[in-house]
Every structure is written in structure tokens, then in C-alpha cells.
Amino acid sequence: MAEAELHIDLGALVANWRALSDRSAGEAGAVVKADAYGLGLAPVAQALAEAGARRFFVALAEEGAALRAALGAGPEIFVFGGHMAGDAGLIRDAALVPLLNSPEQMARHLEAAPGAPFGIQLDSGMNRLGMEPADWAAVKGRALDLGPRLVMSHLACADESGHPMNARQLATFRQMTDGIEAPRSLGATGGVLMDPAYHFDLTRPGIGVYGGLPFAEARPVVTLRLPVIQTRQVAVGESVGYGMAWIAQEPTRIATVSGGYGDGLIRAMAPRLSFHHAGTPCPVRGRISMDLIGVDVTALPEPPETLELLGAHQRVDDLAEAAGTIGYEILTSLANGRYARRYSGA
Ligand SMILES: *Cc1c(COP(=O)(O)O)cnc(C)c1O
């Protein structure tokens, strides 16, 4: 095997979506922005559509156009970024539903595409995207007359279910939307796992579908195996890699694997990172290079052909912890890796 292999278990992915869908009081959509969190937009979205997902969310109109090409007509594709200048053609041709974020976006949409569908994004306290209460008050009557496909907002602290910000945002969202006829949406993965009061008509899970926290019961979706290029014996006192960052205290077998920060493997992980081989942990030694990593395989009876970085023994969130980041960043970092992608189980 010359190439590192990123394996995506679409069966596990679909099972995760179904589990989050079952827990949702209403319908569950699916968030597939950033190339389906780095795992591949078309195969992921097609598997979810086959499993019954009818509403998809992307960040940008360009992603929406790629998603429409993958899914064909039928599923509803919402764009979090709304209707940005220059997007009218993409929105029309791919039948996208922009989530209008401001009165300016609403004016732009109504002028460029009168009669075309839209949704509304409200800001309930995160101060990121969406209409603030005063914006909404100014356009609410007109917007609701036109029948928005969805009225949504997003929680800032849903990964901490007990955070007081959740209840504050829920109250604000309800103040802004109670009594409207349009379908409503507030919760992403974290929101699905909280009280059903946060679910409304449609939930928008992303990370949990891909096997990440806060959905602790998620099945792992990603396996990443890197090929070993060369194995060598290192004597006491010898160093491994750039900067002599690791020095052998005892005779050690080092396997050099093909993969590095040029493949989205974050360099800061090195001191806390292990690979696995048939369940045996094999710690990283020295620094992560652009294309190479030194791994201590002394514990293995034979020099391995491949070493596993992600899989049942080590999950996306374990890597995130080693890197001091979140699972979302680990997954999206993999998108630029030199990996052969293999899909199974759809
Ligand atoms: C990314 C995103 C989601 C999905 O969030 P997860 O935490 O991955 O489930 C939902 N809604 C909005 C507005 C988002 O930006």
C-alpha cells in the first residue's frame, strides 16, 4: 500500500444520523458544509438522502450547487450564509434556499429572485449570523407573508447542556418566533441531545453524524491508516526527527510512516499522540514533519506495514484532545490530506 487510506464507514454514518433523527422531536436535517466535515460531500449526502434525510445545510451557495449536482432535484438545500452579492445565479440554478441573515440580504433576494424560496436566520445571542431582534421586528410581517421555508437560530453553548446561555437563547428565539406558522429550527447535534424544548420542527445535526462529540454514543465513522515506509533500530542516546526533539533512553524500533502536517495531521499533537497496531499503542517519537512521522514500534513482534491513527482504538476526539482542539477541526483538517478515500457500508 503506497498511499495512506482514509476509510469512511457510511453505514456507521447513517446509523448516527438515524439515532439523532430518532431523538429529534420533529424531523432531522443534515449539515454537510465544508465537504461534509471533510469526509466527502457527494458520497456522504447521497447515503444520508437514501436513509431519508430531506433537508440539507451548507455554508455557501457554491457548496449548495455541488450538493444539488450530487443529489438531483427534490431535497431542500439551505445555505447558512444566506444570499450574498453575486449568488443569485447559483441560488436560482441549483434551487437553493438561502437563510437570509439581514434586511439587506432580504432586499437583495426579493429583488434578484422575486417568488424564490428563502428561509430566515435569526441571531438569538451568539452574535455571529442572523437578524437581530430589531432587524427582525422591521421585516417580520413582510417575511412571514411570503412564507419562509424555515426560521432558524443557532446555539452558542450547546456542547455544555447545562450552560445558562442555552435557556437564554431559547427564550429569545421563542420571543422572536412564537406564534408563527413557518417551521422552526434551533438545535444542532448538541441541541438534539438536550431537552426536546430545543428541537422545534427541524434539527440540524452535523458533528454527531460524523462520529464526534458531543454525541458520545456515536459510532466511529473514520479510519485512517498510514503506510510504513521504513523501519530502523535506534540506539540509546540517538535522536529521532527534526530538532532532536526525542532521544532514545533505551534501544528502540522506529517506523517512519508516510503522512504529516501536510496531510492535516496537526504538528502540535506529537508529544501526546500514539498510533495503533492490532490494538497495541505505538507512541509518536519526535516531531511531526510535513510528510513523515516517527513511531515507536518496539512493542510489536514484527515491523508493521501500516499503522492506524484513527479508528476504534483512537477516535476523532482523542486526536482533538492531543492537538488541543475540537473534533470538528480534526475532521476538516483531513480534507486536504493525500489520502486514498474508500467508502463502505452505504
Ligand atoms: C455547523 C452548524 C450546524 C451543525 O452543528 P454541529 O455541532 O456540527 O451539529 C448547525 N447549524 C449551524 C448554523 C451551523 O453552523
Which tens digit of pLDDT belongs to each residue from 149-204? 999 999 999 999 999 999 999 999 999 999 999 999 999 999 999 999 999 999 99
User: Among this protein's residues, is 210 annotated catalytic?
Assistant: no
Ligand 1 atom closest to Cα of residue 188: 9
Per residue in 232-261, pLDDT tens? 999 999 999 999 999 999 999 999 999 999
Q: What is the pLDDT of residue 336?
A: 83
154 lines ligand 1 (CB under 6 A): yes
Task: Classify domain 25-204 by CATH architecture.
Answer: Alpha-Beta Barrel (3.20)
Rounded distance from Cα 48 to ligand 1 centre (Å): 16
- Catalytic annotation on 242? yes
Answer whether 80 contacts ligand 1 (Cβ < 6 A): yes
Q: What are the tens digits of pLDDT across the range 273-311? A: 999 999 999 999 999 999 999 999 999 999 999 999 999
Q: How far is the CA of 160 from the centre of ligand 1 (A)?
A: 15
User: In the chain, what are the domain boundaries?
Assistant: 25-204, 222-344
pTM, two decimals, is 0.96
Mutation test residue for ligand 1: of 13, 31, 128, 203, the one with most atoms within 8 Å of CB: 31
- What lies within 8 Å, CB to CB, of 309 at 6+ separation is 224, 225, 226, 259, 265, 275, 276, 319
Packing angle between helix 316-323 and helix 327-334, nearest 10 degrees?
A: 100
Cα gap 299→280, rounded to integer Å: 8
Task: Summarize pLDDT for 59-68 with one digit per residue, the tens.
Answer: 999 999 999 9
222-344 adopts what CATH topology?
Lyase, Ornithine Decarboxylase; Chain A, domain 1 (2.40.37)
How do strand 339-344 and strand 4-9 relate by DSSP bridges?
Answer: parallel
* CA-closest candidate to residue 174, choices 108, 124, 127, 239: 124
Give the pLDDT confidence of 59-97 residue by residue, as tens digits. Answer: 999 999 999 999 999 999 999 999 999 999 999 999 999
pLDDT of residue 2: 66
- Return the pLDDT at 1: 54
| H or E, element range at 100 | strand 97-100
User: Residue 188: CB within 6 Å of ligand 1?
Assistant: yes
Residue nearest to atom 6 of ligand 1 (CA): 206
